Structure 1
Amino acid sequence: MNAIARISFPTLRLLAVAVVAVNGIFPALWMLLTSLKSEVELVSVPITWLPRDASLANYLRAFTEQPLPTFLLNSLVVSLLATASTLLVSSLAAYALARLRLRGRTLVLGVLLGASMFPLVTLMVPLFETMRSLGLLNSYAALILPYTVMNLPVCTLVLVSFFQSIPADIENAAMLDGCSRIGALWHVVLPLSAPGVFTAGILAFVNAWDEFLMALAFNATPAMRTLPVGITLYQGEYSFPWPVISAALVVAIVPVALLIIVFQGRVVSGLSAGGMKG
């Protein structure tokens, strides 16, 4: 205990950074290096950390052995539309919870919090039956609608904290100038809550982009498969071409990484501000 107490704060911070680097950066770096190796080099002993003859052949195989562009397009369409619908509905719900005098508001917030922790696998059967009864299986809508429902609790909770931080007098002034309440939400509240909107949007997009179970169950036709499901098709019955799979995984990570890099400042400020306001 005395030894732990003597550890300085900078040392603890350095250890925390090292843990994050090992758990986050190292696997991504190892996957990138693996995608540049041949299968022979990958299983050779001793292990080579850096590829001896780096090659992009695995990326060519990833695009030719499976319709990777189709998987990318499907994931992009589903994720963008699910994010847009989530932000639309969650903005309206969060504004109502933050501004209107609703009976049972605390109960609604508690239900949202509980719903955000509900295991997804328990909803698979009722969601599948709903999509089948509506005739939406093997379509974009079969994933967009469930993803919207899946992301609504978290995104609504994020936006409520931001909307509550904006003085109501600003909206009242806009409504006195002729704005409707929806107009005040669109022209005043949402621009002032931009960090929160970007944070909720990034969360919704990443959740939709990475989701596997519903994408596997609801869209079984090859033309409608999304990227997480499509990547599993590179695996054979007796073979695991890890360099090719790693190349496909790198391609899958690039859009999310670019999104995080472009909106990094807004996301960080949104998460920190949301944490302080919550």
Structure 2
Amino acid sequence: MKVRATAKRVAFGLCVFCLLVYLVFPFGWALVSSFKTNAELFATPARFWPAHPTLEHYRHVLANDDFLRAALNSVFVACSVTLVSLAIGALSAFALGRYRFRGRSLVLYVVLSMTLFPQIAVLGALFQLVNALGLYNRLPALTLTYLVFTLPFTVWVLTGFLEAVPIEIEEAAIMDGASPLQLFAKIMLPLAAPGMVTTGLLSFIAAWNELLFALSFMQTPDKRTVTYAILSFSATTSSAFEVPWGQMMAASVLVTTPLVVLALIFQRRIIAGLTAGAVKG
């Protein structure tokens, strides 16, 4: 039995190690490639560490005005999507999580079903909506369209979180004369902080990494987001037959690093937010 238990632990450890390598290797390879010279990028056999590390690709990326402008555009879009998702999602979750009314379950299932649609399935309808509102090639178009996917997730997670808040807390606040708006702002929002951090960070990451809608609704270089800008590097090089892999890897590292740092800083709140309400006590 002891040998069997040891074998299980070893097998589990190997599975975890393989999964870790599978998840981390792409980012690690991009990081290493961003320090390689152009000659080393195409050398065979491939080197797992550059013989002559260089910051040339980072200098080119940071000197690229289109990329820097795209980074600012992504910051604006991601922050606006996060704020709007949290504002609308928290109010909706408060109503769905703390009040009982006919059709409540149906509303929750409809909200959840919105996360099941692939982007391409709603692209045509959203394109017509953006054109009708006169938002084509404007950053608010991305804020509006990204809410289609970030808002349902925010509502669903925060609803489950607010449902887990003991009813005694709500009753005590009402006995003290708190209005529904005061109950929401002064009681529920502070208690929902882990859920707000979770949904806010995941909404930010989703908006930051999105590409399909940015390709569809943004055309001019001054309106592109970082993912679109990285994709466009090959069209702005001096040679039509050259793909600037080094610059693309450096830009990918610059774009991904802030997200990794945020995830590491808020990892405990993310776990608490995702597991809130899973066990009633």
When the two chains are superposed, the root-mean-square deviation of aligned CA atoms in Å is 1.7
Among 240, 243, 253, the residue aligned to 2:243: 240
| Percent of residue pairs bearing the same amino acid type | 36
* Contact 1:90–1:152 (8 Å) recurs in 2: yes
Between 1:68-77 and 1:234-243, the stretch displaced more is 234-243
Please report the TM-score for the alignment, with normalisation by the length of structure 1.
Answer: 0.92
Instruction: Give the Cα–Cα distance (whole angstroms) in 2 for the partners of residues 156 and 239 of structure 1.
Output: 45
Q: Compared with structure 1, are the counterparts of its residues 263 and 6 closer, same or farther at alpha carbon in structure 2 (3 Å cutoff)?
A: closer
C-alpha distance after superposition, 1:220-239 (max 9, x if no partner): 11111001101011114422
How far off is 1:251 after superposition?
0.8
Match in the other structure for 2:219: 220
Between 1:155-164 and 1:232-241, the stretch displaced more is 232-241
Q: Pairwise mapping of residues 250-265 of structure 1 onto structure 2 (< 5 A)?
A: 250-265=253-268
Question: Partner of 1:37: helix, strand, or coil?
Answer: coil
**Residue 86 of structure 2 corresponds to residue 87 of structure 1:** yes
Match in the other structure for 1:124: 123
Instruction: Give the Cα–Cα distance (whole angstroms) in 2 for the partners of residues 53 and 274 of structure 1.
Output: 52
How far off is 1:111 after superposition?
1.2
* Contact 1:195–1:270 (8 Å) recurs in 2: yes
Unaligned stretches of 5+ in structure 2? none
What letter matches 1:163 in structure 2? L
Q: Pairwise mapping of residues 136-147 of structure 1 onto structure 2 (< 5 A)?
A: 136-147=135-146
How far off is 1:274 after superposition?
5.0
Instruction: Give the Cα–Cα distance (whole angstroms) in 2 for the partners of residues 274 and 16 of structure 1.
Output: 29
C-alpha distance after superposition, 1:20-46 (max 9, x if no partner): 212211111110000000111111122
Q: Compared with structure 1, are the counterparts of its residues 203 and 275 closer, same or farther at alpha carbon in structure 2 (3 Å cutoff)?
A: farther
How far off is 1:146 after superposition?
1.2
Instruction: Give the Cα–Cα distance (whole angstroms) in 2 for the partners of residues 38 and 274 of structure 1.
Output: 51
C-alpha distance after superposition, 1:137-173 (max 9, x if no partner): 1222101111122211111111111101101221222
Match in the other structure for 2:252: 249
How far off is 1:191 after superposition?
1.2
How far off is 1:84 after superposition?
0.5
**Residue 197 of structure 2 corresponds to residue 194 of structure 1:** no
Question: Partner of 1:22: helix, strand, or coil?
Answer: helix
Among 260, 267, 270, the residue aligned to 2:273: 270
Instruction: Give the Cα–Cα distance (whole angstroms) in 2 for the partners of residues 178 and 272 of structure 1.
Output: 32
Match in the other structure for 2:204: 205
Q: Pairwise mapping of residues 1-278 of structure 1 onto structure 2 (< 5 A)?
A: 8-65=7-64, 67-236=66-235, 237-273=240-276, 275-276=278-279
How far off is 1:132 after superposition?
1.0
Instruction: Give the Cα–Cα distance (whole angstroms) in 1 for the partners of residues 211 and 277 of structure 2.
Output: 28
C-alpha distance after superposition, 1:108-144 (max 9, x if no partner): 1111221111111111111111111111112221011
Instruction: Give the Cα–Cα distance (whole angstroms) in 1 for the partners of residues 18 and 181 of structure 2.
Output: 45
How far off is 1:219 after superposition?
1.5
Between 1:158-167 and 1:105-114, the stretch displaced more is 105-114
Please report the TM-score for the alignment, with normalisation by the length of structure 2.
Answer: 0.92
What letter matches 2:213 in structure 1? M
Instruction: Give the Cα–Cα distance (whole angstroms) in 2 for the partners of residues 81 and 142 of structure 1.
Output: 11
What letter matches 1:270 in structure 2? G
Question: Partner of 2:93: helix, strand, or coil?
Answer: helix
What letter matches 1:244 in structure 2? Q
* Contact 2:114–2:148 (8 Å) recurs in 1: no
Instruction: Give the Cα–Cα distance (whole angstroms) in 2 for the partners of residues 18 and 214 of structure 1.
Output: 35
Question: Partner of 2:276: helix, strand, or coil?
Answer: helix
Instruction: Give the Cα–Cα distance (whole angstroms) in 2 for the partners of residues 162 and 27 of structure 1.
Output: 34
Instruction: Give the Cα–Cα distance (whole angstroms) in 2 for the partners of residues 132 and 7 of structure 1.
Output: 62
How far off is 1:82 after superposition?
0.3
